[in-house]
Amino acid sequence: MEFTTHISVQNFNVFYGSQQALKDITIDIPDKKIIVIIGPSGCGKTTLLRSFNRLIDTTEGVKVRGKVLVDGEDIFDPAAEVTRIRKKMGLLSQHPYPLPMSIYDNIAYGPRIHGTKNKKALDGIVEHYLKVSSLWDEVKDRLHSPASRLSVGQQQRLCLARGLAVEPEIILADEPTSALDPKSSRRIEETFMRLKQRYTIIIVTHILRQAKRLADYVVFLYLGELIEHGPAKEILENPRQEMTKEYISGAIS
């Protein structure tokens, strides 16, 4: 599989206090593909994902060694500007957390802090991204009612639209469907399939069937180590490593 590299992880280590969460990870994340990170719980999937937008900064006692290059820029360089790095990436977490404001203000929050003040422009952004995340038809008549009143599935699509509204290049999703019912999960998956034309999408999941449905590229982590990575077909159907085989067949979890 030929690809251009979007994120390049080089000899990357993360420590929580004395505990090492990621061990010497080196990997190139391809551009405009769906990359699925799999592995048993506690293997460092979420830590790796949260490293990409430096959200691990907010965890206490965290130490980082090695490099993560996004578009060739080392994001852990002390001179790197964290708000600009984060703006490049939209985040979907396990459970949707809409901001404590209206549906409209949730989407407009990001563009506003990055300097878009024009009402017409904001209206356009809100409508556009709500349509992208296929929420528009359900909420167009109540844009100014609280986002907290939406169902969990709608909230997750709102969070996706909110993330996209800051015009990122990358979507980070941490088990984005784990709190959702099957129908909402499918809608999120369908949206991802559409969005991969324009974005690099990195998804953490423990649902293997979801990985099979979505992945172009698979990364398998186990206890903080990178065991295997490669095109989805190879890894999921013909893993080279014994450990990957066992995980995929359900022997380890």
Partner 1 sequence: MNRVDRRKIEEAVFKVMMVGSTLLIIAVLVVILATVVVKGMAAMNLAMITQTPKGGYYLGKEGGVLNAIVGSVYLAGGATVLAILIGLPVVLYLNVYAKRGGRLAAFTRFSFDVLWGVPSIVYGAFGFTLMLFFGLGASLLGGIIAVALLILPIMCRAMDEVMRMMPKELLDASYSLGATRLETAMKVAVRQALPGILTAVLIAFGRGIGDAASVIFTAGFSDSIPYSLFRPAATLPLAIFFQLGTPFPEVRERAYASALILTVVILAISVVSRLLARRFTRHIVR
Does the footprint of partner 1 cover residue 62 (CB under 8 A)? no
Does the footprint of partner 1 cover residue 198 (CB under 8 A)? no
Distance of closest approach, residue 99 Cβ to partner 1, in angstroms: 6
**Residue closest to 204 by CA, chosen among 47, 29, 79, 56:** 47
* Number of residues engaging partner 1 in binding (CB under 8 A): 32
Answer whether 236's CB lies under 8 Å from 212's CB: yes
**Only segment of 100-108, 129-137, 223-231, 244-252 that touches partner 1 (CB under 8 A):** 100-108
CA 91/CA 53 separation, integer angstroms: 9
Question: Quick one: 170 or 235, whose CB is closer to partner 1?
Answer: 170
> Taking every pair of C-alpha atoms in the chain, what is the biggest distance, in angstroms?
57
CA 215/CA 237 separation, integer angstroms: 12
Q: From the CB of residue 134, how many other CB atoms can be counted at a distance below 10 Å?
A: 16
Question: Quick one: 100 or 124, whose CB is closer to partner 1?
Answer: 100
Distance of closest approach, residue 50 Cβ to partner 1, in angstroms: 9
Q: From the CB of residue 230, how many other CB atoms can be counted at a distance below 10 Å?
A: 17
Among 30, 39, 44, 110, binds partner 1 (CB under 8 A): 110
End-to-end CA distance of the chain: 28
**Only segment of 106-114, 177-185, 191-199, 234-242 that touches partner 1 (CB under 8 A):** 106-114
Does the footprint of partner 1 cover residue 153 (CB under 8 A)? no
Question: Quick one: 41 or 83, whose CB is closer to partner 1?
Answer: 83
Does the footprint of partner 1 cover residue 113 (CB under 8 A)? yes
Question: Quick one: 202 or 227, whose CB is closer to partner 1?
Answer: 202
Does the footprint of partner 1 cover residue 93 (CB under 8 A)? yes
For residue 11, count CB atoms less than 10 angstroms from its CB and return exposed for 0-12, middle for 13-18, buried for 19 or more: exposed
Which residues does 222 contact at the CB level (< 8 Å), separation at least 6? 39, 40, 43, 243, 247, 252
CA 182/CA 18 separation, integer angstroms: 39
Under rule CB under 8 A, which residues in 67-86 are in contact with partner 1? Answer: 83-84, 86
Distance of closest approach, residue 96 Cβ to partner 1, in angstroms: 9
Q: Using CB under 8 A, list all residues that contact partner 1.
A: 53, 55, 58, 60, 83-84, 86-87, 89-91, 93, 95, 97-102, 109-110, 113-114, 146-149, 159, 162-163, 166, 172
